[in-house]
Amino acid sequence: MSETSTQATTVPQRKWSSIWLVPIVALIIGASMLFQHISNQGPEIILKLPTAEGIEEGKTPIKALNVTVGTITNITLSKNYDHIIAKARMNHDAARMLKEDTLFWVVKPRIGAEGISGLETLLSGAYLELQPGSSKAKRDRYTVLDQPPIAPPNTKGIRLVLTHREAEKLSVGDPVLYEGFTVGRVEQTSFDIEDRQAHYQLFIFAPYDRLVSSESYFWQSSGIDMKLDTEGIEVKVDSLESLLKGGVTFASLSDSRSKPEPAEQMQQFRLFDDANQVKEGMYDKYLEFVLLFDESIRGLKPKAPVEYRGIRIGTVMKVLLRNQSEVINLGSHSIPVLVRIELGRVYGAITTKELSGLKAAMDGEFKRGLKAKLKTGNLITGALYIDTDYYSDQDMSGPEKFDSYPVFPTQRGGFAEVQKQVTDLLQKLNQLPIEETLESINKTLATSQKTIKSFEDTANSLKTLLASQDTQALPADLHQTMQQLQQTLEGISPDSEMYRRLDSTLKEVKQVMSEFKPVLRQLNQKPDSLIFGNGNAQDPTPVKASPVGANSIKGVQ
């Protein structure tokens, strides 16, 4: 078998195939898309949240003015598990919004005093709201706020800080009022462990920020203020929001004539509990005295007023002031009470130099008889207050100092005087001859018993007399007599016959009298007319004898 040689023939192949155009084109398209995607992507930022409630990776958007500018890409726990760290990829156009003062907060349904917000997230889910900043510096790490910001960083106004010893006096969003009008909001609340005070940051919107000065006072507003005095009941109600939620009110209560300086940014003020506490805190210039009372001070409490003829001039600070001496003297009859004489209540604003002069003036007033005594301020509660006045008693005996405090002279109070008078009265009663008086009273009672027995016998006799038949018959006889009298009176009535006869007789008598009047007049004028008549006869005159010798009288017939 003969060997045959084999030889492969090679055929040159084509260098490229048209099929490779598909992956190459796809690769080019993918690269261009990747480049476009990378070029359109914005920076990646890290957000710190207190909780991941409502936040989902790849779904929760970040919006600014309801436009999506980013998305949450990753959510993890912090190393100590006290907060959430979320990564977000922002859009390319959103990079210019990421400034140092940019703010983020979670938008979700909220119900508060300001109203209801975030209802649109009930269906779409929660999202993060971005508020662009105005700073030139940039950041890539932010802390997400629990509540929406009260005012944007570029909002005109002033930020202030209020301090108080207690927390939870104010809440974020509470209104800031001036004359009942809302001019700002509470932005932040915190507690400083260094000074152990609560800090409340406020924002006062422009143009109301000009109302705040260095002499402004801030106090907590409960929404309703009720006052009962001699003029009646006065009720003052603030806005409905402050009535439901509370708030803070400020005003300038100083009577200084000079224009106060405007407040500065982040200036601190004290937060008072109410307006009355503000007025009390204005009197920071005072003189301290110790009052030594040798009577009971039950009912006298700290913050009780010190008055001068009804005008408040001070405040009780400590009742039963502790003696700094190590030796406790229980035998002392005086109880020390520390008071402050706040001269600003009387003289207004005073300086420290004027205060020292008033202290010397007080010593002169003590020599003139200025003293203090306890008085009852409320009969129901038994509360006491201290009243000062001038007394004629010039007894200035007693210590001038008590532990480095000057002593204010005192006078026994009204109750102590009444107690003393009652004690004196009881002593006088003890000195009275009580036994002799009681014996005399016993004798008088015995005599009175005999008199009463005599009265009883007389009453029994009178009772027997009244019970007799003759006595009982008296009313019947009296009744019969009254009937006869009535019949008699009826007989002489105008309608009776007797009355008519009597009237006729009286008329006849009247006629006779009228006819008899001339006779009476004649008799009155010439009583002898009944004898000589009424003629005008001449008086007889003697005549000579007649010639015949007969005697005759001329004129006699």
Residue 186 pairs in a beta bridge with: 202
The closest alpha carbon to 297, from 371, 403, 373, belongs to: 373
Question: Which pLDDT band, with edges at 50, 70 and 90, does 269 fall under?
Answer: very high
What digits encode the pLDDT tens for the residues 387-429?
Answer: 988 887 666 666 778 878 888 888 876 555 565 566 667 777 7
What digits encode the pLDDT tens for the residues 288-346?
Answer: 899 888 888 888 888 888 998 888 888 898 887 665 554 445 445 788 999 988 877 77
What confidence score (pLDDT) does residue 418 get? 61
Contacts of 396 (CB under 8 A, 6+ apart): 366, 367, 409
What confidence score (pLDDT) does residue 234 get? 58
Averaged over 191-219, what is the pLDDT?
Answer: 90
- Three-state secondary structure string covering 165-196: CCCCCCCCCCEEEECCEEEEEEEEEEEECCCC
Answer for the pair 262, 212: CB distance below 8 angstroms, yes or no: yes
The torsion region of residue 85 among left (phi > 0), alpha (psi -120 to 50) and beta comes to beta
Region of poorest pLDDT, from 328-332, 377-381, 433-437, 528-532: 328-332
Q: Which amino acid is at 497?
A: E
Most confident of 46-50, 92-96, 415-419, 509-513: 46-50
Tokens 């078998």, located at residue: 1
Beta strands at 110-112 and 61-64: parallel, antiparallel or unpaired:
unpaired
Distance CA 445, CA 441 (A): 6
The dihedrals phi and psi of 97, each to the nearest 5 degrees, come to -85, -15
Percent of the chain with pLDDT over 90: 10
As given in the structure block, the two tokens for residue 363 are 């010593």
DSSP annotation of 410: B
Answer for the pair 554, 546: CB distance below 8 angstroms, yes or no: no
- Three-state secondary structure string covering 253-295: CCCCCCCCCECCCCEEEEEECCHHHHHHHCCCCCEEEEEEECC
From start to end of 60-196, where are the E strands?
61-64, 67-77, 84-91, 103-107, 110-112, 115-117, 127-131, 141-143, 157-164, 175-178, 181-192
Contacts of 250 (CB under 8 A, 6+ apart): 176, 177, 178, 211, 212, 216, 217, 218, 219
Contacts of 206 (CB under 8 A, 6+ apart): 155, 156, 157, 158
Averaged over 476-492, what is the pLDDT?
Answer: 71
Neighbouring CB atoms inside 10 A of 84's CB total 18
- 3-state DSSP assignment of residue 161: strand
What digits encode the pLDDT tens for the residues 217-255?
Answer: 898 886 565 555 444 555 565 555 555 556 899 988 765
What digits encode the pLDDT tens for the residues 25-47?
Answer: 888 888 888 777 676 678 889 99
Answer for the pair 183, 157: CB distance below 8 angstroms, yes or no: no
If you write DSSP's letter for every residue of 23-39 in order, what string do you get? Answer: HHHHHHHHHHHHHHHHH
Domain ranges of the chain: 35-143, 157-280, 285-412, 422-455, 480-524
Tokens 């084999």, located at residue: 6
Beta strands at 335-341 and 197-205: parallel, antiparallel or unpaired:
unpaired
What confidence score (pLDDT) does residue 327 get? 44
As given in the structure block, the two tokens for residue 212 are 């705040």
Distance CA 352, CA 28 (A): 87
Distance CA 242, CA 249 (A): 10
Distance CA 457, CA 436 (A): 32
| 350: pLDDT strictly greater than 70 | no
What confidence score (pLDDT) does residue 445 get? 77
What confidence score (pLDDT) does residue 375 get? 87
How far separated are the first and last CA of the chain, in Å rounded? 262
